[in-house]
């Protein structure tokens, strides 16, 4: 991330004054306009019928002080249409694979709680049971040696436990112990590399479970120790610019710190908040997940606050905002640049594809792949899958991970920098080489 712009210099002295009166990681006052405009922007995204409904957006909209209750209600209906398409008992017969996985089901359950939905119905009970079943399968996959990985990933495992806890449902203590064990033995990351998103999600789950009254006291002690360790890891992962991990993991990290931190002497938080606000201010983030997780933070809230939502004293009347302008490349057509694309599938020495492509300056990596796929001679073939973070690169030249195979197309900038953005968001520069390498994870 680039250094702080000069227009932010005024912000630091004000922060210093405010820090003595705010909780750890609270956004200082005076940011009301940002809260209102981000709320309106997310509302516009929710109102866009061409987008698949996303529970992350709904949670963001529920955890702000500005509301459009009717539009939120309609959005919840759309979510129900996707996650509970048919409430009849036939649904039980739907194949396991066709149902939402751990993370999506957990997000939907959080959305239901954020809507104060009546959970005392057979359909709602079935959803909770389904999530418990998913978590059981995730735990079994980790295996008795505690060395393996869950079926999906630890981010979703944490999300699943968080959703059960927010609903006040008891989780299997073995499921909780597996996550505690993985946290304690630094197994939440990918390839031993810390994943701040995953730590923060697990940390939110631990913090929630700590408040529950029905677990044995020994578990409470372990949960407390894990919360403290996660807090230390997240603070330790702060970059010189202020992000926790990177800018995309920072909103969730800030939610976690907000939920657990009280220290007023910790200078890392205001720096983190400043970097978040700066990223938002730059207006260059199209990232819906980032914005959805940031909006609660701007309101001084975290996902833990969903547990106590009452839904009857909300201020209505929020008007639709305008979504950020789409990718900057749309407005800069003129100059052409050259980008080299290399597709590698180790241990094969020869690349599956290697070519220099000419694209308009400001094109995304996805645009580059599209140009490569229209080449006359031996074009590139690729497949993507839509996710809450945008299009995920699934297959290249017919090569894709098989069911259960933990492999993916890793995106690197030559020689070996791992990109922090995906296909749709990354904008390559002139003469840059992008390496797409089929890798284990």
Binding site for ligand B12 (CB under 6 A): 103-104, 107, 152-153, 155-156, 190, 195, 197-198, 245-246, 248-249, 287, 387-393, 408-411, 418-423, 425, 441
Minimum distance from residue 202 beta carbon to ligand B12 (Å): 11
Which tokens sit at 81? 């249409």
Whichever of 229 and 410 has its CB closer to ligand B12, that residue is 410
When CB distances to ligand B12 are compared, the closest residue is: 422
Enumerate the β-bridge partners of residue 336: 360
> Shortest Cβ distance from residue 156 to ligand B12 (Å)?
5
Bridge partner list, 316: none
337: which strand partners?
A: 359
Minimum Å distance from CB 100 to ligand B12?
8
CB of 434 to ligand B12, least distance (A): 10
Q: Based on CB atoms, which residue is closest to ligand B12, 222 or 233?
A: 233
Burial class (CB in 10 A: 0-12, 13-18, 19+), 84: middle
Q: Which is nearer to ligand B12, 163 or 318 (CB)?
A: 163
Q: Which residue lies nearer to ligand B12 by CB, 96 or 441? A: 441
Smaller CB separation from ligand B12, 229 or 413 = 413
Output the smallest distance, CB 388 to ligand B12, in A.
3
Between β-strands 432-440 and 336-344, what pairing exists: parallel, antiparallel or unpaired? parallel
Q: How far is the CB of 190 from ligand B12 (least distance, A)?
A: 5
Q: Measured from the CB atom, is 13 or 192 closer to ligand B12?
A: 192
Minimum Å distance from CB 290 to ligand B12?
6
- Is 215 in contact with 221 (CB distance < 8 Å)? no
Provide, rounded to whole angstroms, the least separation between the CB of residue 159 and ligand B12: 6
Q: Give the nearer residue to ligand B12 in terms of CB position, either 74 or 399.
A: 399
Q: Which is nearer to ligand B12, 198 or 363 (CB)?
A: 198
Between 390 and 428, name the residue whose CB sits nearer to ligand B12: 390
**CA angle at residue 133 from 129 to 135, to 5 degrees?**
115
Residue with the two structure tokens 């516009």: 44
Separation of CA 138 from chain center:
19
Whole-number minimum distance, CB 211 to ligand B12, in Å?
23
């Amino acid at each position: 991330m680039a250094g702080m712009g000069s227009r932010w210099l005024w912000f630091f002295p004000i922060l210093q004054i405010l820090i003595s009166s705010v909780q750890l990681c609270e956004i200082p006052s005076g940011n009301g306009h940002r809260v209102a405009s981000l709320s309106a922007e997310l509302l516009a995204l929710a109102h866009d019928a061409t987008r698949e409904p996303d529970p992350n957006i709904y949670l963001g909209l529920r955890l702000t002080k500005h509301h459009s209750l009717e539009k939120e209600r309609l959005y919840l209906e759309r979510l129900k249409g996707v996650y509970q398409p048919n409430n009849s008992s036939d649904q039980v017969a739907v194949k396991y694979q066709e149902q939402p996985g751990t993370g999506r089901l957990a997000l939907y359950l959080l959305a239901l709680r954020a809507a104060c939905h009546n959970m005392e119905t057979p359909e709602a009970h079935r959803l909770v049971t389904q999530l418990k079943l998913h978590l059981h399968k995730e735990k079994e996959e980790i295996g008795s040696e505690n060395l393996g990985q869950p079926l999906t990933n630890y981010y979703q495992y944490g999300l699943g436990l968080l959703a059960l806890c927010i609903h006040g449902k008891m989780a299997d203590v073995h499921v909780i112990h597996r996550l505690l064990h993985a946290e304690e033995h630094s197994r939440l990351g990918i390839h031993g590399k810390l994943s701040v998103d995953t730590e923060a999600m697990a940390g939110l789950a631990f913090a929630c479970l700590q408040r529950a009254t029905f677990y044995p006291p020994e578990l409470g002690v372990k949960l407390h120790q894990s919360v403290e360790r996660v807090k230390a890891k997240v603070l330790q992962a702060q970059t010189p610019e202020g992000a926790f991990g990177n800018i995309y993991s920072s909103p969730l990290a800030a939610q976690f710190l907000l939920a657990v931190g009280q220290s007023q002497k910790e200078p890392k938080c205001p720096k983190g908040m400043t970097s978040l606000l700066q990223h938002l201010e730059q207006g260059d983030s199209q990232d819906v997940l980032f914005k959805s997780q940031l909006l609660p933070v701007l309101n001084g809230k975290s996902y833990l606050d969903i547990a106590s939502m009452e839904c009857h004293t909300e201020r209505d009347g929020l008007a639709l905002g305008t979504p950020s302008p789409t990718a900057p490349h749309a407005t800069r057509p003129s100059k052409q640049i050259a980008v080299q694309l290399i597709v590698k599938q180790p241990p094969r020495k020869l690349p599956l594809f290697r070519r220099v492509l000419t694209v308009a300056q400001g094109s995304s990596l996805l645009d580059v792949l599209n140009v490569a796929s229209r080449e006359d001679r031996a074009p590139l073939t690729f497949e993507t899958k839509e996710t809450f973070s945008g299009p995920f690169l699934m297959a290249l030249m017919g090569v894709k991970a098989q069911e259960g195979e933990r492999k993916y197309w890793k995106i690197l900038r030559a020689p070996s920098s791992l990109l922090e953005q995906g296909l749709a968001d990354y904008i390559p520069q002139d003469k840059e080489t992008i390496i797409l390498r089929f890798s284990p994870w």
